[in-house]
Chain A
């Protein structure tokens, strides 16, 4: 069953075509990797999917209903949950309150929200710092907290932008385990990452973008072996 359908999405900034006629489908329960060199349009695509930018053309369907151009908060309620590359948490609120914001905003009752916050805190091993303000956490802990915020109410699809970048190996392990266990329980992901071993390990399927367009959309092994993908990365580095 198709959960997310991206159809001919295009976004221009002046003369630059940041996202060029991108189409793909994600089925419910899939964990799809989105790879590509810097500037290939991955983050712009995530911005469009999460409502932070409007596409110039194309259509996005979530559960068969169009959702392009909706505000981020509406999309959050529809179950499109974005995790940012540069961690965004509420720095002057404590860890529990950070989680409660998402829980209450997405319609949980107070008691229910607190139960979920507590179980997420122990799942993400943030117990020791639960009373601290988010701004006092380490970079990795903040990232884990952002995972928690995104999963207070399990989204229809989670859009993760480079979650493993510059994170301590232990934290990486916790995150990897978190993603894997949620995936086994049927959670759908779109994972943007530069970390090829992680993509190979986690994602059965990968999409590679270059210069705003989809180069290949296939099983991950096949994507990494593809000459166009190798050229995209080498070309990207040479440029």
Chain B
């Protein structure tokens, strides 16, 4: 930061956005690497693992927008994936709606439900918000599991596939993830990024500064839910099966772990961590299987000692390297 009063220019207008831009570029580079992986990984199993990683990356990115940037600790990200999956699943199963249309419907429906939830919990914060969203999540899951006549309960609902080729699915998920990454980036470097973080840091101060807190909080809920619903709908057609398990609290726990390990409130961290956590946990499954214990411990340790997660650690290392 310069101390003389500089002639303001368009270039310096991005000064405070530099951090977001660096994160975006790194995330894009990571996506490029992921795009090249199928050239080396022919194995259908590992392609599947990477596809599920991308599913979680979308969920982690969406929840990070809400929790990491806007400070709204919803414990229902997996629920919105489940809602999205059932939206397209039921439409397809009962009305023969084609998957692509169903996926669009899933984005709209989960976004709307997110908007309603956001409106309802507008005045709640901290533990109250966490408990309300957790209850919402459990109620939705119980409804899905017990409406056996409609959803077939825990047996799951058979859903039409969309693509025959696993590599095709791979690039579809990668495309979806990249589109969301770009959208989030554009959002965060606009005034919305400023407003969401302002709300996270101090809601009263944000209102004093003229930020329309009701609008932006609701928008964050709706956008985050829509992203999760999108991921859930894609996953439904990939797995050709929808079950209430998509909405388990344990799934939310996994998403939370990815975001905390990657670095809350950073654009790239949670998305990259989704790959690391999921791929490593599949890989280590053969060697003892303590991976989930380690990841949960990492969540606690990172929350306690390195709030910015792996991303923060990496940035600190880069700074040190540059100074040396």
Contacts and interface: CB of A to CB of B under 8 A. Distances in A.
Tell whether A and B belong to one assembly.
yes
Interface of B: 1, 3, 5-6, 8, 10, 12-13, 15-16, 191, 194-195, 197-198, 200-202, 204-213, 265
Nearest to B192: A104
A51 B209 CA distance: 12
Given A76-B208, A88-B208, A92-B201, A100 B16 contact: yes
A102 to B, nearest CB: 4
Interface stretch (A25-33, A54-62, A111-119, A206-214): A111-119
A82 B1 CA distance: 29
Given A73-B212, A114-B12, 7 more contacts: A71-B207, A76-B208, A76-B209, A90-B206, A101-B194, A105-B195, A118-B5
B10 A93 contact: no
Q: Size range of the interface on A?
A: 35 or more
A84 to B, nearest CB: 8
Contacts of A71: 207
A228 to B, nearest CB: 33
A89 B205 contact: yes
Given A97-B197, A104-B191, A76 B6 contact: no
A88 B204 contact: yes
A110 interface: yes
Interface of A: 50-52, 71-73, 76-77, 81-82, 84, 88-94, 96-97, 100-102, 104-106, 110-111, 114-115, 118-119, 122, 127-128, 130-131, 149, 152
A128 B4 CA distance: 10
The 6 closest A-B pairs by CB, nearest first: A76-B210, A131-B1, A105-B210, A88-B205, A90-B201, A102-B209
A73 B211 CA distance: 6
A128 B207 contact: no
A151 to B, nearest CB: 11
A104 B5 CA distance: 21
A173 to B, nearest CB: 20
A228 B207 CA distance: 38
6 contacts: A90-B205, A94-B16, A102-B210, A111-B8, A130-B1, A131-B1
Q: Looking at B197, B202, B207, which has the most chain A CB atoms within 10 Å of its CB?
A: B207
A106 B212 CA distance: 10
Nearest to A90: B201
Contacts of B16: 94, 96-97, 100
Contacts of B197: 90, 92-93, 97
A93 B1 CA distance: 15
A93 B208 contact: no
Contacts of B15: 96, 114
B210 A110 contact: no
Contact of B209 (A110, A119, A149): A149
